């Protein structure tokens, strides 16, 4: 699954200053087009394995519902019916799209789940990358408008008003999947875990009593280096950046986080990391904050209770919300 508005960030999960004990168990699978890692602490290996298997299966199920690449998925059916009729979809799709519309409204369209025509045009999923002609970008951009998507939670229907419109949930679905996986783990008796769906991280409880999970933020210009790190418990962290899926042509960096207003890669930021109560929220807001840039992005983030951000602007300067001042370890260096 594409993450149209959000880059797949490298996030380092680190032990909180000590070796992992024997009751920490970790498994990795490739789902939703990316690497998914689940870590469970405080359980016997058999119980942890059972819980992780259930969580992976939930992510796999959601992938089948929300994928952009299947005609039978909810998204496939919604996009095929664009401009013609409404489509009956699952409760999960309604939940994700309702949140997508909320963030679209609050961000002034910096996040827009109808960005599918632009994502398809730029083709960051293929090896031969190119800059589309201006007229094609403008044509695709006219089909991107979240206001032309109707979501009815009561009837569980979705309608795209114009033919050629496409919904792409790459900027929010991974966060939703991380939340649902965390819920699944809790139902299986897990009180300490970490779910990492690419750059969308969900912490369940603490790593150990009094010991938070330690999450590193990838440096946007130094591969393998950490910009800073956060200690979290029962919180979510998502990062959007311009350094994973990109190419450089004539000295210009073209990346896959597109600005719906211009139809081109967003140019105000190098990365945006958002800390929030849920991963569906941190996922979507990291995209919006990246597109908006530090001033407007931080303003947007601060309008949501309990949400903080670290944004690296296009010149490499780091901007931190007041609530995180002094709490991002290693940032000064």
DSSP state string for 16-84:
SSSPPPTTEEEEEEEETTEEEEEEEESS-HHHHHHHHHHHHHHHHHHHHHH-SS-TTSHHHHHHHTTTT
What CATH number is given for 24-65+171-324 in this structure?
3.10.520.10
**Residue 29 structure tokens:** 């699978």
Successive 10-residue mean pLDDT values, the chain, 333 residues: 34 44 90 96 96 98 94 96 98 98 98 96 79 97 98 98 97 97 98 96 97 96 94 97 90 94 97 98 98 98 98 97 94 67
The full length of the chain comes to: 333
Residues 227, 229, 232: CA angle, nearest 5 degrees: 155
Classify domain 69-96+103-160 at the CATH topology level: T-fold (1.10.3980)
Q: Which residues contact 161 (CB under 8 A, 6 or more apart)?
A: 82, 83, 148, 149, 150
Measured CA to CA in angstroms, residue 207 lies from 43, 185, 278 at distances of 12, 14, 18
Q: Which residue has the tokens 């979507």?
A: 284
CA distance 266 to 112: 13
For every residue of 118-139, DSSP letters joined together read HHHHHTTTSSS-----HHHHHH
CA distance 164 to 140: 9
Q: Which residue has the tokens 């496409």?
A: 166
CA distance 110 to 224: 29
Question: What is the enclosing helix (H) or strand (E) of 258?
Answer: none
For every residue of 277-308, DSSP letters joined together read SSHHHHHHHHHHHHHH-HHHHHHHHHTSTT-E
End-to-end CA distance of the chain: 35
Measured CA to CA in angstroms, residue 125 lies from 31, 122, 171, 244, 309 at distances of 16, 9, 15, 12, 28
Phi, psi of 234 (to 5 degrees): 50, 40
- HSE at residue 228, side-chain half, CA atoms within 13 A, is 24
Domain spans in the chain, listed from the N-terminal domain onward: 24-65+171-324, 69-96+103-160
């Amino acid at each position: 699954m594409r993450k149209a508005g959000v880059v797949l960030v490298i996030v380092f999960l680190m032990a909180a200053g000590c070796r992992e004990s024997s009751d920490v168990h970790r498994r990795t699978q490739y789902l939703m087009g990316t690497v998914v890692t689940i870590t469970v602490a405080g359980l016997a290996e058999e119980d942890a394995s059972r819980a992780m298997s259930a969580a992976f299966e939930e992510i796999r199920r959601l992938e089948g519902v929300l994928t952009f690449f299947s005609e039978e998925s909810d998204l496939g059916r919604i996009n095929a019916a664009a401009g013609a009729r409404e489509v009956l979809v699952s409760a999960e799709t309604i939940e994700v799209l309702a949140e997508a519309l909320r963030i679209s409204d609050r961000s002034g369209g910096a996040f827009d789940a109808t960005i599918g025509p632009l994502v398809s045009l730029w083709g960051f999923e293929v090896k031969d990358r190119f800059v589309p002609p201006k007229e094609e970008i403008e044509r695709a951009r006219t089909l991107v408008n979240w206001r032309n998507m109707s979501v009815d939670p009561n009837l569980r229907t979705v309608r795209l008003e114009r033919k050629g419109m496409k919904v792409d949930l790459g900027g929010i679905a991974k966060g939703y999947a991380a939340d649902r996986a965390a819920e699944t783990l809790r139902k299986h008796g897990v009180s300490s875990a970490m779910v990492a769906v690419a750059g969308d991280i969900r912490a369940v409880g603490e790593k150990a009593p009094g010991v938070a999970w330690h999450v590193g933020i990838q440096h946007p210009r130094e591969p393998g280096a950490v910009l800073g790190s956060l200690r979290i418990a029962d919180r979510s962290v998502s990062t959007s950046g311009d350094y994973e899926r990109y190419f450089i042509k004539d000295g210009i960096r073209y990346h896959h986080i597109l600005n719906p207003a211009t139809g081109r890669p967003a140019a105000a930021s190098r990365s945006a990391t958002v800390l929030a109560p849920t991963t569906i929220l941190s996922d979507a807001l990291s995209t919006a904050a990246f597109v908006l840039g530090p001033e407007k992005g931080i303003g947007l983030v601060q309008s949501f209770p309990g949400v903080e951000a670290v944004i690296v602007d296009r010149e490499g300067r780091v901007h931190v919300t007041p609530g995180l001042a002094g709490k991002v370890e290693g940032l000064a260096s």
